[in-house]
Amino acid sequence: MTAPALRPVTEDDLPMLRRFAVEPGLIGNDWLGFRDAGAQDRRFALDGYLGTDNGRLIVQVRNQATGFVTWSAHSYGGSAGFWEIGIVLLPEWRGQGIGWRAQALLCDYLFLHTPAQRIQAGTQPENVAEQRSLVKAGFLLEGTIRAAEFRAGQWRDGLLYSRLRTDPSVAV
């Protein structure tokens, strides 16, 4: 397995990004209905997906775009900010050891370039691949968030994970 690398979004990635907005289920359990596919082009034109409060990087393997990772700024109060991260790989790239490595690389990137103490990630109880990926990427399970999201016709619980700057590092 070739280790993935993270790189900025380019114009050539926009067709792939548009697919996730309009192909039901391509994004996995996080499918929330059709979205404005043109938003991808507008965001790319604005800042190349590298904003101050959120961003996106492409997960690349052997010169191929396999999916992307995201991060966004949140706060539990005062100035105690943290990042929440997310990931989606194209179906043909799943289950090959790319997802957990990409999330570990994103943590390294965020801890290197920002002073964040905490990175969190949520997933669904049925998403075993993401649960295992997060643990392999150095995250610890914090607990269940009741009625965390409205998805596929009903309110559903979520699982919350976190990795702190002071947690053990992970070799990718």
Q: How far is the CB of 127 from ligand COA (least distance, A)?
A: 5
d(CA 42, CA 50): 13
Closer to ligand COA by CB, 40 or 123: give it. Answer: 123
Chain center to CA of 53: 14
Closer to ligand COA by CB, 19 or 136: give it. Answer: 136
Q: How far is the CB of 99 from ligand COA (least distance, A)?
A: 2
* Binding status of residue 130 toward ligand COA by CB under 6 A: yes
Give, to the nearest 10 degrees, the angle between helix 14-22 and helix 38-47: 140
Using CB under 6 A, which of 129, 148, 160, 164 touches ligand COA?
Answer: 129
Closest CA to 57 of 102, 6, 112: 6
Give the type of residue at 134: L
d(CA 99, CA 63): 16
How many residues contact ligand COA, by CB under 6 A? 23
SS3 70: strand
Please identify the residue of the shown chain whose CB is closest to the bound ligand COA.
99
Residues in 52-111 that interact with ligand COA by CB under 6 A: 67, 87-89, 94-100
> Position of tokens 């049925």?
126
* Binding status of residue 8 toward ligand COA by CB under 6 A: no
Site string for ligand COA, 9-28 (x = CB under 6 A): ------------------xx
The dihedral through the CA atoms of 106, 168, 124, 3 has a sign that is: positive
Closer to ligand COA by CB, 88 or 105: give it. Answer: 88
Tokens of 133: 């990926």
Q: Footprint of ligand COA on this chain (CB under 6 A)?
A: 27-30, 67, 87-89, 94-100, 123, 127-130, 132-133, 136
